Amino acid sequence: MEYHFSNCILDDARRTLTRADIPVAVEPQVFDLLLLLVQNADRVVTRDEMVDVVWGGRIVSESAISARIAAARKAVSDDGKRQAVIGTVARRGLKMSTEVSSKGPMSIDLPPVTNAATQRIRYTRNARGHSIAYAVTGSGPPIVRVGYNLTHLEEEWKAKVDRPFFDRMSERHTLIRFDPAGVGLSESAPIDVDFDAQANDILAVASAAGFDQFAILTHSGGVLAGVRAAAKAPERVQRLVIMGGYVDGRMRRRSEPEPDAIRAMLAEGWGSQESAFSMAYMMSYFPEGPLDAVMDYVRITTASCSRDQALRIRDASNSDSIAGFLPRVACPTLVVHSRNDGVHPLSEASKLATNIPNAELVIMETANLIPLPSQSEWPRMMQAVLDFLEE
């Protein structure tokens, strides 16, 4: 349902707010407060109702409530003095000061922001109640990108190593990127790592962006949630691209697992972009560099979450397996893998391509996890992915 008031449209299905046809970024609690007000525009909404809906009944300070009310007013171009949109009813609560109408699904197409200097971050909530940050760029058939697990929407957007990929994909597709719960701009609290739940988050983000059917593009550890989503929702996932992925985590590939040296470097170097351990950790994935690209990835990963959360993700990824989900993937699948990948060997890509029906494998001639923009293999990789998505 979409709610029209003043010059604003609030869409509860997509969890978006537009003002004068321009998207406005709002925090999840601010959106929940606005939605509560427009859904009850004909009456006063009490403080207790706000606490129940926006904060789930938890104890919350008056300053926190006042801050959310001020942010809601700012989002709709109002303030506490004018109260032209949101009015205060003394000692009772809040009430909409302007007329509110409702109608079916939102019909406004949000403008593409491909190659823009800034990106617009939007939020939705997953089934567990966590806020999930996502961004949409470009136009065309939709693709949900499931990143390396340690992502950060804003840091990735600024990175020279990732931006060419985003821009190229957005030239011909609607690219939807998101941070998993507990990572990046999403819910920042420590969260247990659950790849089944992350698969549901992929579907929730696609729905919030307004798409029933879409392709999934995964990188490395993103395959653990991406394959699950494709297996769970074959009616929604139309194509699947797996880049640098694997079937079994490192601890499941041998009968007697070896110590995880990469985990040790991650733990030792976390929090310092200049640490030799941080650089060595990332060089394990990109031994051919270039150095500035490796430094970009160090900056992204260390900004993504706390050291403890990063280790939770590492341990969960190491011990996971998606072998049981592969036969259930019904959509055409492209597996892109580097021949000399030292972290996830080519044999893991072969298992993916062998056990997913209607899958094909493309091998890149590099030791990096995936070819990077400065490498000669990067154009070939991009062409293979785009050709597959557009078949």
109 within a domain of the structure (yes/no): no
β-pairing, 142-146 vs 174-178, is parallel
pLDDT at 153: 96
pLDDT at 273: 67
114 within a domain of the structure (yes/no): no
**Looking at the structure, do residues 44 and 12 belong to the same domain, yes or no?**
yes
16 within a domain of the structure (yes/no): yes
Domain that holds residue 225: 121-390
Of 186-190, 274-278, 354-358, which one has max mean pLDDT? 354-358
**Looking at the structure, do residues 70 and 131 belong to the same domain, yes or no?**
no
String of DSSP letters for 187-244: --S-----HHHHHHHHHHHHHHTT-SSEEEEEEGGGHHHHHHHHHH-TTTEEEEEEES
pLDDT of 57 strictly over 80: no
**Looking at the structure, do residues 153 and 260 belong to the same domain, yes or no?**
yes
β-pairing, 142-146 vs 214-219, is parallel
79 within a domain of the structure (yes/no): yes
**Looking at the structure, do residues 139 and 264 belong to the same domain, yes or no?**
yes
284 within a domain of the structure (yes/no): yes
What proportion of the chain, given as a percentage, has pLDDT over 70? 96
Q: What is the pLDDT of residues 201-242, one digit of tens each?
A: 999 999 999 999 999 999 999 999 999 999 999 999 999 999
The confidence band for 269, taking pLDDT boundaries of 50, 70 and 90, is confident
Bridge partners (DSSP) listed for residue 144? 176, 216
**Looking at the structure, do residues 62 and 147 belong to the same domain, yes or no?**
no
The residue ranking higher by pLDDT, 312 or 391, is: 312
**Looking at the structure, do residues 66 and 98 belong to the same domain, yes or no?**
yes
pLDDT of 252 strictly over 80: yes
Q: How far is 389 from 211, CA to CA, in rounded Å?
A: 16
- What is the domain-level CATH number for residue 97? 1.10.10.10
pLDDT at 115: 43
pLDDT of 101 strictly over 60: yes
Question: What is the mean predicted confidence (pLDDT) over 73-84?
Answer: 94
**Looking at the structure, do residues 148 and 92 belong to the same domain, yes or no?**
no
111 within a domain of the structure (yes/no): no
**Looking at the structure, do residues 53 and 199 belong to the same domain, yes or no?**
no
Domain boundary among 68, 103, 138: 103
Bridge partners (DSSP) listed for residue 142? 174
pLDDT of 112 strictly over 50: no
Q: What is the pLDDT of residues 113-140, one digit of tens each?
A: 344 446 889 999 999 899 999 999 988 9
Among the listed residues 126, 230, 139, the one whose alpha carbon sits nearest the alpha carbon of residue 176: 139
